[in-house]
Structure 1
Amino acid sequence: MRIGELSRRTGVPTRMLRYYEEQDLLHPDRADNGYRSYPEAAVYRVQQIRGLLDSGLTTEIIRNILPFLDRPDQLHPHPDCLTAETTALLRGEAERIQARIDCLGRNLRAIREYLAAVAPDHAGEQA
């Protein structure tokens, strides 16, 4: 299938599909005229990439674990892909995500404290 059809079937803009190719996440064949040609399995691969990106992983980490995701519904890498480099990347990513969670928690508390101060009648409501 061509890039436009893959875009329609996955909901991912063609520009992003080209970016995934630049990041070595997608590997389309090229027709004689230079057009990209994607196999049917690319639909599932793009869905995996989107799911991993949405979970906060970087393209570098995804590039390291993607070869080990052999089933369309599997988003857990096989233990064989946990090289020292991948393990370090994942640990760093976990620390980055935790720092973001901590920051969001502080921001949420500050917003709730502010709301309690300026709108005490609504202090118990979830922000």
Structure 2
Amino acid sequence: MGMRIGEMARRAGVSTRALRYYEQHGLISARRGPNGYREYDESQLALVAEIRSLLTAGFTLEDARPFVECLRSGNATGDSCPESVAVYRRKLAELDDQIRTLVARRAEVAAQLAGACPGCTVHVEIRGRRT
């Protein structure tokens, strides 16, 4: 017998709503018991953990699909398949673009500050340290 949605949510550390959402998008699956309740097996816990980890790191639900499929196909990790590596590469490229954009915006704001306040200094905070 599998876990009902409440137990699955508790063990996975997500809401029942999130589980239904993941199921709706085909990332996890549940059997329906004779009473109509969703029943999840243990293997779904690893899939939910993978999805949560990726979402926390800024990936989209669709980005998670290759990682979930990699796990489903019997691999020990979700990132050991070429499709998952391709998602990592694409995400890194997106982040690099965002970083370049932010650096350019920061330079613009720093220049505006320098123009508005000629004696003001601009401090840079990197990983909690102010320079």
TM-score (norm 2): 0.67
Tell me the alpha carbon deviations over residues 60-119 of structure 1, each in whole angstroms, 9 at most, x when there is no partner: 232233221332xx242323x47xxx95x6665444333223233334445555666658
Of Structure 1 and Structure 2, which has the larger fraction of its residues in strand? 2
Which among 96, 99, 120 is matched to residue 98 of structure 1? 96
Residue 39 of structure 1 corresponds to which residue in structure 2?
41
Q: Give 2:18's aligned residue.
A: 16
Residue of structure 2 aligned with 1:63, choices 62, 65, 69: 65
Q: Which has the larger radius of gyration?
A: 2
Q: How many residues align?
A: 119
Q: 1: distance between equivalents of 2:27 and 2:91?
A: 19
Give the alignment partner of residue 4 of structure 2, picking from 2, 7, 10: 2
Distance 1:54 1:112 in 2: 31
In structure 1, C-alpha distance between the alignment counterparts of 2:113 and 2:9, rounded to whole Å: 43
Q: CA deviation at 1:22?
A: 0.9
Q: Give the share of equivalent positions with the same residue, in percent.
A: 34
- Between the two structures, name the one with larger relative contact order (CA 8 Å, sep ≥ 6): 1
Q: What's the offset of the Cα at 1:12?
A: 1.2
> Unpaired runs of 5+ in structure 1?
none
Is 1:124 paired with 2:126? no
